[in-house]
Amino acid sequence: MSLHPSYLTPMQEMAREAGALLMSHFGKVAIEYKGDVDIVTVADRAAEELIVGRIRRQWPSHDLVGEEGSRTETGSDFRWYVDPLDGTTNFAHGFPVFCVSLGLAHKSERIAGVVYDPTRDEMFAAEKGSGAQLNGRPIHVSKTARLTDALVATGFPSRNRHKNPNIHFYHQITLRSHGVRRAGSAALDLCSIACGRYDAYWEFNLNAWDTSAGILIVQEAGGRVTNYQGGLCKVEDRDVLATNGLLHEEMMREFKAIMEGRVEGLPMPAEYFKK
């Protein structure tokens, strides 16, 4: 049982409100850019303002960080991770795969998370030690035990994909699995592991607001989440490997083979893993 008061009800309320706001803008937004490559829309900003305002009113002493730049630093043991629109590129192009993701950590340990998909009205939720749910029903990871039978997911950055090593992993895991999907929302990919739609997922160079909620949901659904080396996936870690648990060791062996250059086709740029 959780040692903290339940945060799930207010988190789900915030996610639903933000999801309704996103849907009111869906199909009507203009694309802007933050920096050189990352898309942002008026919907991202409005949804973050809604969520951050609610958190600051209800838990004014808590720290928070939001994808669109919101930040509160009070020295609190509690820290919120807010992604008001995970899947912005999809949203901006009218492709209905996106979500709201809210995670809460206490002393750098994930304790609560919700991911809401407003296009399907699917609310994924978990509190540490209490299991994971989809629309109030318990969920569990799949029982697929061989990579060759597995449906796997991954993701890529919006731009400069040629500089990201994941294209090499994508090529090799595609050859070794039943298939690899790239839907464009890390939070929803993780939730799809939790409810058994996917069997494994990996991605590099993520941010805590992308993964904080989804990782906890996978773990509470019986899955396993590590970094690509197999170590503990800390809140701020940027590389994630999530599986149903049964596939984890096989995925780790395949990653090792790919990093060592034992591949078919594309050569692997080993310098990425020397950082």
d(CA 126, CA 124): 7
Q: pLDDT at position 82, please?
A: 96
Q: pLDDT at position 41, please?
A: 76
Q: pLDDT at position 168, please?
A: 84
Q: pLDDT at position 268, please?
A: 58
> Which segments of 118-161 are extended strands (E)?
122-127, 132-134, 137-138, 151-154
Closest to 153 (Cα-Cα) out of 87, 92, 103, 105? 87
Q: pLDDT at position 198, please?
A: 99
Q: Indicate the residue type of 226.
A: T
List the chain residues with pLDDT less than 70: 1-5, 30-40, 158-164, 263-275
Tokens of 132: 């994971």
Residues 138-183 pLDDT 10s: 999 999 999 999 999 999 876 555 566 788 899 899 999 999 999 9
Q: pLDDT at position 1, please?
A: 45
Widest distance between CA atoms in the chain: 54
Residue 246 in contact with residue 145, Cβ under 8 Å?
A: yes
d(CA 44, CA 86): 9
In the chain, what are the domains?
A: 8-138 (3.30.540.10), 147-268 (3.40.190.80)
